[in-house]
Amino acid sequence: MLTDSIRATIRTLPIDGNAAKLPGRRQAIRGSMPHMPHMQLRREQPADHDAVRAVHLAAFGDHGQMIADLVSDLRRSVTTDRGLSLIAEHDGATVGHVMFTPSLLDAPRRLVCVEVLSPLGVLPTWQGRGVGSALVREGLRLITAQSPPVVFVEGDPRYYVRFGFTAGHTLGYRRPSL
Ligand SMILES: CC(C)(COP(=O)(O)OP(=O)(O)OC[C@H]1O[C@@H](n2cnc3c(N)ncnc32)[C@H](O)[C@@H]1OP(=O)(O)O)[C@@H](O)C(=O)NCCC(=O)NCCS
């Protein structure tokens, strides 16, 4: 299980149709990482499922099994026009993965379809080299094309604030589990 402190932190990124306003946009990496020429970012294919599972098993340690199973469940909600599953590949080996999946926001008068970034994992030997940041930035660029009104992420604000996420409660959002 994720810790309570991680669960308690909800971040949102309002997407207003002007992607240029996204912080970090200028550093967005499209498909490759210039400082790592053999690194490619691409959409996950069925043949990648085992490698993606291995990434999360290694990245999340004791929670790896749960996260890997979560990915298998969430993957069913990713379609061509909703959600996103993106991998970072180095010389043909999968070293990182990020997933965005559609979810419903319970707004006062209607349910609004939003996107949720989760999970994000990078193989331990590849952490701290910009792979996670590249996956988040490229993922946000691609998911913006689907025009979701908002993207939520539950995670450490020290990491996600750099991508432009803002504390959900400051924008009036409440956690689903009150
Ligand atoms: C979190 C994770 C995805 C980051 O990927 P990464 O490729 O190592 O990250 P990057 O190289 O792009 O960025 C490194 C920066 O993120 C920071 N960072 C990494 N993990 C962090 C964390 N859990 N909390 C806060 N900051 C973190 C580093 O301190 C570094 O900061 P700096 O740029 O100021 O030096 C990766 O460390 C990972 O897979 N961790 C285990 C799984 C996990 O916790 N996933 C996130 C769930 S919310």
pLDDT digits (tens, 9 = 90+) for 60-97: 999 999 999 999 999 999 999 999 999 999 999 999 99
How many whole angstroms separate alpha carbon 45 and alpha carbon 87?
A: 9
Residue 26 has which token pair?
């200028």
The CATH classification of domain 4-171, taken from the options 3.30.420.40, 3.40.640.10, 3.90.1570.10, 3.40.630.30: 3.40.630.30
Query: Tens digit of pLDDT for each residue in 118-148?
Result: 999 999 999 999 999 999 999 999 999 999 9
Q: Is the CB of 139 under 6 A from ligand 1?
A: no
What is the number of the ligand 1 atom nearest to the C-alpha of 155? Answer: 48
Q: Is 39 in the pocket of ligand 1 (CB under 6 A)?
A: no
Q: Cα of 10 to ligand 1 centre, how many Å?
A: 17
Atom 16 (ligand 1) nearest CA:
159
Domain positions in the chain are 4-171
- Say how far apart CA 41 and CA 31 lie, in whole Å: 5
**Cβ(158) – ligand 1 distance below 6 Å:** yes
Chain centroid to CA 155: 10
- Give pTM, 2 decimals: 0.86
Rounded Cα–Cα distance for residues 67 and 87 (Å): 16
